[in-house]
Amino acid sequence: MGPSLRVALCQLNTTVGDLEGNLARILKALETAEGQGAQLAVFPELAITGYPPEDLLLKSGFVDDALETLEKVVAATAGCAAMVGFVDRDGEGKLYNAAALCAGGTRVAVYRKHRLPNYSVFDEARYFEPGPGRAGVVDLARTRVGVAVCEDVWWPDGPLAGMPAAGAEVVVVLNASPYYARRADDREQVLEARAAEAGCPLIFVNQVGGQDELIFDGASRAVGADGQVRIRLPQFTESIVTVDVADLDEPAPLPPEGPTLTSEVYEALVLGTGDYARKNGFTDVVFGLSGGIDSSLVACVAADALGPEHVHAVALPSRYTADESNDYAAELAQNLGIDLRSIPIEPAYTAMLAMLGEPAEMEVGGVPHGLVTTADTAMSARAKSQIARENLQGRIRSALVWALNNKFNWLVLVCGNKSELAVGYTTAYGIDMAGGFAPIKDVWKTEIYALARERNRRAGKEVIPEAVIQRPPTAELRPGQLDQDSLPPYEVLDPILEGFVEEDRTATELIEDGHDAATVGRIVRMVDSAEWKRRQAPPGVRVSPKAFGRDRRMPITNKYRG
């Protein structure tokens, strides 16, 4: 018979800097846990401040306020104890990412995180000092409880290695582990290994919710001493589940697997978009709905995130917009029940052409829209003029959508995808880049199609018309324009981009992998040349291991062409 401790896994959606709001969530969860008979409620990493607090930690007043907030949690533990993540500070003013055991109205013990991640989206070494690295074990309800924080559990030689010698009967791990596709599977393998090495059950409690670009998917776990998962909490939603530690040593059927990869990514997009809007004070969103697949998917994500009554789509047709584009936009809006208004841009376009001294009609075919910069002196004057005319349309559309933002305080969403952003197939300050949030910024174009079909599968009908999914992509900025006029087919483009952007492979390595040398060379040049644009793009939901922005930080001025 194992230890009798009853533990509540409190998977919460906290907000960075919202000390009062986070406290209210923690206290409510603590009350729920106590009502479920729990003796210990375990909360995520830095639950008091939200994760990651970033440069708020440089403000001593913020740390003061956060420590005062922790004391209010301490005062509420007359019944159920709490293991809560907080920012600790020593007598020299050094900060630590820490976990406090609060019980009986007192702070019983503190464990300071030893392993500080400083890679990918993490920069904890900027703010925190590492803890001593010894196995943190405390006594609670006649049970020896080991404590660790997030990164500590990822290393076989970390603090968990000392748990058996310290007599730990269960290990609790506080986490704020960001999401990317299949991250929950990676974590599960690590947790299984650490539990088996520690020789005791392991309880892993992860944060959930959106924080700027980052998504925290929850997916908390309870693992038996044999390394087998006993309990899986859901992804992308708050959850409080209570477990008897003794039961974790009992044989049990494996909990059901999580959602499919495409379904998982869709849920992440919905959570990230909804939390970004709500946590930044927006109730409604607005965006341009073109009748294409990208904006159609964004419409679905927004409707699912905020409710269709809070979604406002704007059709912004030009002289080049096909009738079916308007029809598809109207059909989608009706299927979703979202607001759709139409503002033709022709009056503004005609007026601005006249202001620029441009003829009312001018067509130059074969111009690689969006893939040139002002430094492309080899282009003909006519080609440059055509580029100006095309991009002017996107910028007019952007100005109109931002005017609606000013009138109604709606958050502006942009509908550009990762493939377009990677190669610069976008208009600087245009409707595909100039926004407040970019839901599909980290989604390759080939994945957009799978997500569109996933949304229709969920509905059991064509919410996004099949004709939209089948339609060849086009920006509709000149007659007969198709993406394939300027780009390789996306099924060719995306694997090269994935290797170059997410896997950091060089052009030489990609060619050695079997990709066409000329195509690789062209794409690599396009990606490097578009860095200046990406720096000006809005934040968006991170669903890959390496997203533009927090993850991939390339110099704008860069002459390397490996």
Q: Which residues are catalytic?
A: 45, 113, 150
User: Measured between alpha carbons, how far is 168 from 178 in angstroms, rounded to an integer?
Assistant: 27
User: Measured between alpha carbons, how far is 289 from 401 in angstroms, rounded to an integer?
Assistant: 11
Please state, in angstroms and as integers, the Cα–Cα distance from residue 129 to each residue in 96, 113, 118, 161, following that order.
5, 9, 12, 21
Please state, in angstroms and as integers, the Cα–Cα distance from residue 470 to each residue in 256, 301, 368, 481, 536, following that order.
34, 20, 23, 16, 31
Going across the sheet that includes 202-206, the strands are 136-140, 143-149, 170-175, 202-206, 221-223, 229-232
User: Measured between alpha carbons, how far is 539 from 550 in angstroms, rounded to an integer?
Assistant: 9
Handedness of CA 156, 157, 159, 162 (dihedral sign): positive
Q: Residue 329 carries which side chain, given as an amino acid letter?
A: A
User: Measured between alpha carbons, how far is 370 from 336 in angstroms, rounded to an integer?
Assistant: 31
Q: Which of 394, 439, 451 is nearest to 412 (CA)?
A: 439
User: Measured between alpha carbons, how far is 289 from 298 in angstroms, rounded to an integer?
Assistant: 9
Both tokens of 98, joined, read 């820490």
Both tokens of 110, joined, read 């503190």
Q: Which of 90, 224, 97, 74 is nearest to 149 (CA)?
A: 97
- Count, in order, helices (H) and strands (E) of the chain: 16, 18
SS3 108: strand
Burial bucket for residue 511 (CB in 10 Å: 0-12, 13-18, 19+): middle
Radius of gyration of the chain from its Cα atoms, rounded to whole angstroms? 26
Which residues fall within 8 angstroms of residue 307, CB to CB, at 6 or more apart?
none
